[in-house]
Chain A
Amino acid sequence: MGGSLGGTRPNRVIGLTIAVTAVAAATGAIYPLKTVAPAVSLSVVYLPAVLIVSAYWGLALGLVTSLLSAAAFNFFHLPPVGRFTIADSRNWVALAAFTITAAVVSTIAELARGRALEAERRRGEADLVAALARELLAGSETGEALGATARRIAETLAMPSAAIEFGAFDGDERRRAFALRGGDGQQLATLLVPRGLPADTIERLRVQVVPALGVLVAIALRRDALQAEAVETAALRRSDDVKTALLRAVSHDLRTPLTAIVAAGHALGGGSLTPEERTELSAAVVGEGERLAVLVDKLLDLSKLQAGGAAPRLDWVSLEEVLLAAREGAGNEQTTIMLAIDPDVPALRADAAQLERAFANLLENARRYSGGLPVHVHVLRAGPRVVIRVVDRGPGITAAEHERIFEPFYRGSQAGAGRWSGSGLGLAIAKGFVEANGGTISVESLPGQGTSFVVALPIDPEHEPVPLPEEVPA
C-alpha cells in the first residue's frame, strides 16, 4: 500500500469517480443480499468503499463517500424506497450509526494515510541526504563535487536547475539564494535555485535540504583541508629525506679529501720521512685540496640551481665554442673526446657559461665511465632544436637507473666497479643547467652497451624572430 501513497495527492476527479462507482456497486450488491438479511443491517456493505476512498484520497473525499453512501442507502433501500424520507425510527438509528461509523473509518484511514505519507517523506529526506553525502564526500575534491550535488538536488525535487557556490551570495530576480551554514553557523556556501518554484518545494528545500547540505559542505571542506595537510606533510617529509640524503653524501664526500689532507699533514710532521714520502705527501695535500675546491664549486652550482638562482644570461652562443671549452674543462685524462658538429647547426640563444658547465660535467662523466675508449659527441639540427648526443662505450646503466642518475650524489651501480672519484653531482648539475636554458636531457643506455646522453636545446627559447641589423627599420 505504501508504494501507491506518493508524495503528491492523487487526482481528486479520479477519487470522486471511484467513490460514485463504489457507492453504486455497493447499492447494487445490497439488492440480492436483502433476501438473506434485513435491509437495515446491510449498510456495512458501503464501508469498504468509504475505507478505500479515505485511504487513497483523504478525509474529505472519504466523508463525501460516507454521505453519498448514507443517501444512497436511504434512497434505495430504506423504506419508503425512492425517497429521502424514513418511515421507521429504527431505520433512523441504523442510518445514524452507519454515518458515524463511516466518518470514524474515514478519519482512521486518513490518519494511517498521513502516517504513511510522513514515513515516506522522511525516507525520501534520508535518501536525499544520503545521496548528497555520497556526491559530496565520495569525490576527491569538494569544489568538483558541488556541481553533481546541485544536479542531484534539482533532479530529486523536480526543479529545472540548481547550483551551489562557495561563499555568500544574494538572490536576484531570477534566482533565490539559501545560505548553507556549517555547525558553527558560519556561511560556507550558497544554494541557488530558480524563482517561481511551488511553495512545497521551497518548504522542502528549506526544511530538509539546506540544513543537511550545510553540515555536509562543512564536513567536505574539513576533509579537503585535512587531505591538503596530509599531502603537504608527505611532501615536506620527502623533501626532508632528500635533504638528509644530500647532507650525508656531502659530509661523506667532504670527509674523504679532508681525511687525506689531515692525515698527510700529521705524517709530514713525523720524524721518519724519506724524501720521496715527503714529496708524495705534499702532493697529496695539494691534490686533495684541489679536489675539495672542485667539490665546493659543484656544490655551489647545485645550490644555485636548486634555489632557482641560475637565471641564464641569454646571448648568441656557438655550440662548437661551448663544446671545445667544455672538453678542456672536463679533465685532461687519457680518454679522447671526438666532436662531430653538422654544418647546419645554427647559433643558439643561451647562457654560454652555463652550457659549458653542463657539457663539462657530461663529458667528465662520459670520460670516467668509458673505460679508456673514445667518447663521441654528435651535434645536429632537428627542427626548432639542436640535439647533442654524448656517447660512451662504458658499462652502461640499467633502465631502472635512468631517472635516478640525475639525482645529486647518486652513483650508478656500475660506479663501484671501477675506481670512481666523481662527486656524484655532475649529472645533476648538467641537468640543472640544460633545463635552465630551456632544454631537456635524457639518457639512452643498456648494460654492457655504453650510454648516450641526449641533450636537446631550443634554438631560440623565446620564439622571437631575430632581426638582423639591416632589417631593423630606421
Chain B
Amino acid sequence: MSTPGSRPRVLVCDDEQQILRALRVILRDAGFEALPASTSEEALDIAAVSRPDAAIIDLVLPDGDGIELCRQLREWSDVPLIVLSAVDDEDAKVRALAAGADDYVTKPFGPRELVARLQANLRRTEPGPEEAVIEADGLVVDLPRRTVHHDGEEIHLTPTEFGLLALLVRNRGRLMTHRDLLVSVWGAGYGDDTQVLRAHIANLRRKIEPDQAQRYIRTEPGVGYRFVG
C-alpha cells in the first residue's frame, strides 16, 4: 500500500508493449505510477512484491487468461481490479466480474474514462469518513435522513428504491453488477432475479432522471449499473 502523499501505484498487465508504454505516460500524467507486466506470471510476482494500489489487466495474455489472473489475485488481495480488453461482449464482462474484477473497460479506451474508473475504485479502498449527504448535479441524497431532493424538490422513493439509490451513490463511479445490487438490497437468495431489479431501476429512473436520460444511473448492458452523477 502506498504511503500517504506518494503516487498510487497501478499494476498494468498487457502483452502489447506499445500499450504498456502509452499507459505508463497516461497514468503518470494522471498522478499514478505504472508497474508494467507483460505476462500473468510477471503480474503475480509484481503484485506480491510491490503491493500495488490497483491493477489494470488485459484479458488475452501470452501465458493464460486475464480472468484466471483476476481469480488468482483475488485469492489473497483486495486490490481494485480493472479489466482492459478488446473483447467486447457481455459474456466476457460477466465472467471477468464474477472472477473478482471490479470494472471493465473496452479497447480502444478513452484515457479519461479509464482514470475516472480507477479513481472511483480506489475510493472504495481508501479509509476515510463516508459522506452522509451526497450531492450530484442537482440531486441531493441524504443517507441518514433517507431523503432525496432534485433541484430543491423532494422526491418520494419506496424503501427498495432508496436502498438501490443509496448503494449506487455510495459507490459513485463504480460498476455495480446485477448480483451486487440484488444481494445487497434483497438478500443472498435473490442474486439471479434481474427482472425485479430492472423494474425497480426503471421506477427509480422515472422519479429522479429528467427526460429519461441516463444522467445519474448509467446502464452497463447485461452487466449492471453505475452512478455517474
Interface residue tally on A, bucketed by range: 20 to 34
Question: Is B107 on the interface with A (CB-CB < 8 A)?
Answer: yes
Question: Is B151 on the interface with A (CB-CB < 8 A)?
Answer: no
A418 to B61, CA, bound (A): 10
Whether A272 pairs with B25 at a CB distance below 8 angstroms is: yes
Interface residue tally on B, bucketed by range: 20 to 34
Whether A263 pairs with B108 at a CB distance below 8 angstroms is: yes
Question: Is A398 on the interface with B (CB-CB < 8 A)?
Answer: no
A272 to B63, CA, bound (A): 33
Question: Is B193 on the interface with A (CB-CB < 8 A)?
Answer: no
Least CB distance, B116 to chain A, in whole angstroms: 14
A288 to B15, CA, bound (A): 14
Question: Is B88 on the interface with A (CB-CB < 8 A)?
Answer: yes
Least CB distance, A154 to chain B, in whole angstroms: 61
Question: Is A2 on the interface with B (CB-CB < 8 A)?
Answer: no
Q: Which residues of B contact A270 (CB under 8 A)?
A: 25-26, 28-29
Whether A259 pairs with B21 at a CB distance below 8 angstroms is: no
Question: Is B48 on the interface with A (CB-CB < 8 A)?
Answer: no
Least CB distance, A366 to chain B, in whole angstroms: 20
Least CB distance, B19 to chain A, in whole angstroms: 5
Instruction: Tell whether A263 pairs with B62 under 8 Å between CB atoms, given A252-B87, A255-B108, A272-B28.
Output: no
A255 to B84, CA, bound (A): 12
User: How many residue pairs bridge A and B at CB < 8 Å?
Assistant: 81
B114: nearest chain-A partner, CB-CB? A263
Stretch at the interface among A10-18, A207-215, A276-284, A387-395: A276-284
**Residue A258 contacts which of B25, B28, B108 (CB distance < 8 angstroms)?**
B108
Whether B25 pairs with A255 at a CB distance below 8 angstroms is: no
Whether B26 pairs with A255 at a CB distance below 8 angstroms is: no
CB-CB contacts below 8 Å: B6-26 with A: 15-16, 18-19, 21-26
Question: Is A260 on the interface with B (CB-CB < 8 A)?
Answer: yes
A260 to B23, CA, bound (A): 9
Whether A258 pairs with B22 at a CB distance below 8 angstroms is: no
Least CB distance, A249 to chain B, in whole angstroms: 10
A260 to B16, CA, bound (A): 8
Least CB distance, B112 to chain A, in whole angstroms: 9
Is chain B's binding surface mostly helix, strand, loop or mixed? mixed
Q: Which residues of B contact A260 (CB under 8 A)?
A: 16, 18-19, 22
CB-CB contacts below 8 Å: A196-231 with B: none
Q: Which residues of B contact A420 (CB under 8 A)?
A: 62
A251: nearest chain-B partner, CB-CB? B88
Question: Is A104 on the interface with B (CB-CB < 8 A)?
Answer: no
B27: nearest chain-A partner, CB-CB? A267
Whether B18 pairs with A287 at a CB distance below 8 angstroms is: yes
Question: Is B202 on the interface with A (CB-CB < 8 A)?
Answer: no
A417 to B107, CA, bound (A): 23
Whether B28 pairs with A418 at a CB distance below 8 angstroms is: no
Q: Which residues of B contact A256 (CB under 8 A)?
A: 16, 19, 86, 107
Is chain A's binding surface mostly helix, strand, loop or mixed? helix
B87: nearest chain-A partner, CB-CB? A252
Q: Which residues of B contact A277 (CB under 8 A)?
A: 21, 24-25
Whether A273 pairs with B15 at a CB distance below 8 angstroms is: no
Whether A259 pairs with B107 at a CB distance below 8 angstroms is: yes
Least CB distance, B64 to chain A, in whole angstroms: 8
Q: Which residues of A contact B23 (CB under 8 A)?
A: 263, 267
Instruction: Tell whether A259 pairs with B108 under 8 Å between CB atoms, given A251-B88, A280-B21.
Output: yes
Whether B107 pairs with A266 at a CB distance below 8 angstroms is: no
A121 to B88, CA, bound (A): 71
A223 to B28, CA, bound (A): 69
Whether A284 pairs with B86 at a CB distance below 8 angstroms is: no
Q: Which residues of B contact A251 (CB under 8 A)?
A: 86, 88
Question: Is A271 on the interface with B (CB-CB < 8 A)?
Answer: yes
Whether A264 pairs with B111 at a CB distance below 8 angstroms is: no
**Residue B111 contacts which of A266, A287, A417, A419 (CB distance < 8 angstroms)?**
A266
Q: Which residues of A contact B86 (CB under 8 A)?
A: 251-252, 255-256, 259
Whether A418 pairs with B62 at a CB distance below 8 angstroms is: yes
Q: Which residues of A contact B26 (CB under 8 A)?
A: 263, 266-267, 270
B84: nearest chain-A partner, CB-CB? A259
Question: Is A262 on the interface with B (CB-CB < 8 A)?
Answer: yes
Q: Which residues of A contact B22 (CB under 8 A)?
A: 260, 263-264, 266-267, 281, 284
Q: Which residues of B contact A281 (CB under 8 A)?
A: 21-22, 25
A-side residues, CB < 8 A to B, are 248, 251-252, 255-256, 258-264, 266-268, 270-273, 277, 280-281, 284, 287-288, 416-420
Question: Nearest 10 CB-CB pairs, A to B?
Answer: A263-B22, A267-B25, A255-B86, A260-B18, A259-B107, A270-B29, A284-B18, A259-B108, A267-B22, A262-B108
B-side residues, CB < 8 A to A, are 15-16, 18-19, 21-26, 28-29, 60, 62-63, 86-89, 106-109, 111
Can you name 6 A-B residue pairings with CB atoms under 8 Å?
Answer: A255-B108, A256-B16, A260-B18, A264-B18, A277-B25, A284-B22
Q: A256-B19, A262-B109, A263-B19 are in contact. List 8 more A-B contacts (CB 8 A).
A: A248-B89, A251-B86, A259-B19, A259-B107, A263-B111, A266-B22, A277-B25, A284-B18
